[in-house]
Structures are given as structure tokens and as C-alpha cells.
């Protein structure tokens, strides 16, 4: 009688071991991450940070934003309208608008369609008009037509986010908050004052690090620096007043 056939003995799989190409890929990625970590500068120390803001202060002791407004309400509207728009474009639209609607009550009287005609040149003007009218309604019904000096309250209003709320309480009421836009986010991480991933992280880091004597104007110093010197594509490091203190590794020479 023939013997039964035996199943061949299984050889343990070596799939747990990475293939040569995969191992090489991992090694390259690890090396790149290590190089990036070494190349990335650490945030400047406290004394350097103080010197940077001292220079900003000496160059422009009373910096001003470029949006035009006449009172806290028109500032709130102007900042809300400035999303995805230039300050120049917003000012062009709001000069005639604020001449006839510089309070929430007057804005409601103008109405959404009337407002829309004034801001047609701005991106997303339909949504912005709807939000500004809803904002005016809330201010009249809940706050007597006054703009609250509170980031937390302002953030609950239609079309108002953390940046807009922080700008308003900083500029209109002298509250030392540091609103963060794309310019400030870039400058903060380039110098760097901090290494952050989101605007909120950046605001928290700046408000914790910037000394109190500079905090009131920090928003304007940083936004103007980012807009006119520390530009996104090609920073003008050759004329930067803090180039010797900045740790950005890709400085331009002209």
C-alpha cells in the first residue's frame, strides 16, 4: 500500500523584512527629516526678540493699519470685508459706503441690496453683504448698536473670525491682542519667533512671547514687515532692519 503524501514543509516568510528598495527609501526619508531638523532654526531667544521689537519701535513708534475707518463699527466692517481682498480695494469700496452707513442702524436701513452695490468689486461680495447685514442686526438687537470689546463675543457674530475680532479689540479698544494673517504667520516662522502650524498657534505663541511694552503694536509691525520687506516669494533681506538677528536660512542678497 503506498504511503500517503506529506505536505511540503512551509518555509517561514521573510516578508517582515523590508526589501532593499524599501529600506533605501526609508533611509533617505529618515536622512532628509534629520537634515531638515538640523537646518530648521530654533526660535530666537528672549533678548533677541526684544531687540527686534525695539528696532521696529524705533523705526515706527506708532504704526497704523492701512484700512480706513471712522469708529469701531466701521473698523469691524472693513476688516470683515478685507478677507480675500486688498486693503486698497476695501478702502475704495468703503469710502462712499461709510459716508452714508457708519452705524449698524444706518447699515440696516441701507439693506443688503444697497450694501451689495457698494462692495461689488470685492471677492465674495454676496456672502459679505449678507454677513454684514446680519452682523448689524445682531449688534442693534443685542448690544444697543455698540461693538463689544470682547474677542469671544465678536467671534460669535456673522462673518467674524478670530483674526477680525482680534484686530478690532486691538485697534479700536487698545487691547494688546496679536491678530495673525498670512504675513504674520510667515514672519513668525521665518525669523522665527516660534515654530507653528496654524494661525491660532501663532497668536498664542506671540502673545506669550512678545513683551507687554511691545504687544499693543506688534500686529501692525509684523504685518507691515511681512507685506513690504519679508515678502513671500522673495524677501528683501538686503534692506531688512533685523536681517542680522533673523535666522531664516534662505536670505536674499538683492
Label each residue of 41-100 as H, E or C: CCCCCHHHHHHHHHHHHHHCCCCCCCCCCCCHHHHHHHHHHCCCCCHHHHHHHHHHHHHH
In this structure, what is the dihedral angle of CA atoms 196, 200, 205, 206, given to the nearest 10 degrees? 110
24 is in an annotated binding site: no
| pLDDT of res. 209 | 97
Question: How much is the pTM?
Answer: 0.80
Residue 181: active-site member:
yes
Annotated catalytic residue within 92, 163, 231, 250: 163
216 is in an annotated binding site: no
Annotated catalytic residue within 181, 197, 231, 244: 181
246 is in an annotated binding site: yes
Cα separation, 199 vs 133, in Å, equals: 27
| pLDDT of res. 191 | 97
Cis link prior to 36 (omega < 30° from 0)?
Answer: no
On the 0-12 / 13-18 / 19+ scale of CB atoms within 10 A, 6 is exposed
| pLDDT of res. 253 | 82
| pLDDT of res. 46 | 97
Residue 149: active-site member:
no
Cα separation, 51 vs 244, in Å, equals: 11
Stated length of the chain: 254
Which domains, ranges and CATH numbers included, belong to the chain?
46-64+177-239 (1.10.1670.10), 72-173 (1.10.340.30)
And the C-alpha cell for 226?
511681512
Cα separation, 230 vs 224, in Å, equals: 9
Residue-by-residue pLDDT tens, the chain, 254 positions: 555 555 555 544 444 444 444 544 455 445 444 434 445 589 999 999 999 999 999 999 999 999 999 999 999 999 999 999 999 999 999 999 999 999 999 999 999 999 999 999 999 999 999 999 999 999 999 999 999 999 999 999 999 999 999 999 999 999 999 999 999 999 999 999 999 999 999 999 999 999 999 999 999 999 999 999 999 999 999 999 999 999 999 999 86
Amino acid at each position: 500500500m503506498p504511503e500517503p503524501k506529506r505536505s511540503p514543509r512551509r518555509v517561514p516568510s521573510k516578508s517582515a523584512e523590508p526589501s532593499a528598495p524599501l529600506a533605501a527609501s526609508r533611509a533617505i526619508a529618515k536622512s532628509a527629516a534629520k537634515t531638515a531638523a538640523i537646518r530648521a532654526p530654533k526660535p530666537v531667544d528672549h533678548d533677541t526678540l526684544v531687540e527686534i521689537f525695539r528696532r521696529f519701535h524705533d523705526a515706527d513708534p506708532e504704526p497704523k493699519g492701512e484700512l480706513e475707518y471712522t469708529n469701531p463699527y466701521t473698523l469691524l466692517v472693513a476688516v470683515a470685508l478685507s478677507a480675500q481682498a486688498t486693503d486698497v480695494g476695501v478702502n475704495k469700496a468703503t469710502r462712499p459706503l461709510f459716508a452714508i452707513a457708519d452705524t449698524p442702524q444706518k447699515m440696516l436701513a441701507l439693506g443688503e441690496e444697497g450694501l451689495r452695490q457698494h462692495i461689488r468689486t470685492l471677492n465674495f461680495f454676496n456672502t459679505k453683504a449678507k454677513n454684514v447685514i446680519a452682523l448689524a442686526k445682531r449688534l442693534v438687537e443685542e448690544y444697543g448698536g455698540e461693538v463689544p470689546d470682547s474677542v469671544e463675543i465678536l467671534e460669535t457674530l456673522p462673518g467674524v473670525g478670530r483674526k477680525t475680532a482680534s484686530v478690532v479689540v486691538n485697534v479700536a479698544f487698545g487691547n494688546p491682542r496679536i491678530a495673525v494673517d498670512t504675513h504674520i504667520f510667515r514672519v513668525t516662522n521665518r525669523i522665527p519667533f516660534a515654530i507653528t502650524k496654524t494661525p491660532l498657534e501663532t497668536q498664542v505663541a506671540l502673545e506669550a512671547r512678545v513683551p507687554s511694552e511691545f504687544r499693543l503694536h506688534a500686529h501692525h509691525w509684523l504685518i507691515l514687515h511681512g507685506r513690504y520687506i519679508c515678502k513671500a516669494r522673495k524677501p528683501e533681506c538686503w534692506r531688512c532692519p533685523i536681517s542680522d538677528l533673523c535666522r531664516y536660512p534662505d536670505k536674499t542678497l538683492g
